[in-house]
Chain A
């Protein structure tokens, strides 16, 4: 099955992001395809490399990065939602005159069209949120 995943909630605040991760990992291990993971609303906070969770807790952000690297996942952070919440890559930094960037490894910033396209091209779009 060809899945697309949408993550609507931020890390630690809400379990949706954990469920999305666990679903994605289980689907990949079962041989399914994850054609895209789209981070929206506070879900964009999954893509900041500035998080420093306590050492005895899971690291939600680096966990995504590692899974992304292992399976070559397309992990997309919505640009409009990211701009509101301060998730910045090289291009956004220059475009908006910021002096820092914080996009985590394996994530890219792109538009909402990527979400619609995921809905069209996947066999199932699975939304994780409230």
Chain B
């Protein structure tokens, strides 16, 4: 369908519930995966809350869509950059996040972590390499 490969970055800036941005962002990622682009996701600011483990939305009667993040590896979406400072500012560590993995076809299908902890400065450099941003 596409004649060229671009570097697509989805920037997730908001908490998973309260507004629909996070969920509808994930819908774009899932559809976009069919286009064989070089995709990565960034989680900054309150966006880091999207990856918190043990989400329970029963009391607020919202759909808990957090299991969908675990399917991203199967869609070849394997680069999830989480900004270190955003975690720290919220009193969170990597241990508070869902373990998300993918099987690396270039490395005998070894299971690897999808989440990559990066500093704000490192993320700025990664952003500098991108062609297209979707900001949610």
Report which A residues bind B (CB closer than 8 A): 6, 8, 40-41, 80-81, 84, 111-113, 115-117, 119-120, 125, 127, 129
Residue of B nearest to A80 (CB): B27
Q: In the complex, are the beta carbons of B135 and A113 less than 8 A apart?
A: no
Rank and list the top 6 A-B pairs by shortest CB-CB distance, nearest first.
A112-B31, A119-B132, A116-B32, A120-B2, A116-B35, A127-B135
Closest Cβ–Cβ distance, residue B68 to chain A (whole Å)? 14
Q: Report if B6 contacts A (CB, 8 A).
A: yes
Report which B residues bind A (CB closer than 8 A): 1-2, 4, 6, 8, 20-21, 24, 27-28, 31-32, 34-35, 37, 132-136
Q: In the complex, are the beta carbons of A117 and B1 less than 8 A apart?
A: yes
Q: In the complex, are the beta carbons of A113 and B20 less than 8 A apart?
A: no
Contacts of B136 in A (CB 8 A): 8
Q: In the complex, are the beta carbons of B31 and A113 less than 8 A apart?
A: yes
Q: In the complex, are the beta carbons of B32 and A41 less than 8 A apart?
A: no
Contacts of B28 in A (CB 8 A): 40, 112, 115-116
Closest Cβ–Cβ distance, residue B9 to chain A (whole Å)? 10
Q: In the complex, are the beta carbons of B35 and A117 less than 8 A apart?
A: yes
Contacts of B132 in A (CB 8 A): 119-120, 125
The 8 Å CB contact of B32, one of A40, A112, A125, A129, is A112
Q: In the complex, are the beta carbons of B31 and A116 less than 8 A apart?
A: yes
Contacts of A8 in B (CB 8 A): 136
**Which of A6, A111, A112 has the most chain B CB atoms inside 10 A of its CB?**
A112
Closest Cβ–Cβ distance, residue B127 to chain A (whole Å)? 14
Contacts of A117 in B (CB 8 A): 1-2, 35
